[in-house]
Amino acid sequence: MKYALVTLLVLFLTTASANSVLQTVQEEANPGTPVSITPLGPPPCPSCTQIRGSFTYNSGIADSLRIVIRDAKAWRKIWQRIHTPFSPEPALPEIDFSRQLVVVVALGTRPTGGYGIIVDRAFQRDNRLEIKVRKQSPGQTCFTNQSVTQPVDIVLIPKTERSVVFRETEVVHECQ
């Protein structure tokens, strides 16, 4: 009896795990309809071959955060929070919330430089909006600045009433 229960439990866990992996593979193969994202902040330099970086690496957001902002009041509040350590605070960018939403992602406090967070892509699938977020960390051979950082990224997306799901990947950048 005990052997049968253990066998059933193992079979159940294996099947549940396989279904989860299959669903993930199917989602990656068909991510949905792409949604345009517009990074807020300076574009990468024209001669740079690297990918876009975070909006800022120093912010006032010490905790991990994923948020979609749908109105001006919430936008002002998060802008102030991002720029808490700085005086004077930069001018609040104007957003037309009748046409756009703001997505803010924060990595939280990290002990050194070399960390980042980026909104990579967005897709509409079924009745939801999936936002792909890439978290970056430095490899063991990387030289980093020895100061605390709090990376944040901000992008604009077309307005939608769909529910939002954040999907994350972690990348370790190996320096050469």
pLDDT of residue 18: 43
24 or 170: which carries more pLDDT confidence? 170
pLDDT, mean of residues 153-162: 95
CA atoms within 13 A on the CB side of 124: 11
Torsion 99-40-48-31 (CA) sign:
negative
Round the CA-based radius of gyration of the chain to a whole number and report it: 20
pLDDT of residue 43: 61
The residues spanned by each domain of the chain are 1-30, 32-173
Task: Confirm if 120 and 79 have CB atoms less than 8 A apart.
Answer: no
Q: How far is CA 96 from CA 74, 75, 138, 157, 165, in A?
A: 13, 11, 36, 11, 23
pLDDT of residue 1: 58
pLDDT tens profile 16-64:
444 444 344 445 667 799 999 999 876 665 655 556 778 888 888 999 9
pLDDT tens profile 88-147:
888 999 999 999 999 999 999 999 988 999 999 999 998 999 999 999 999 988 888 898
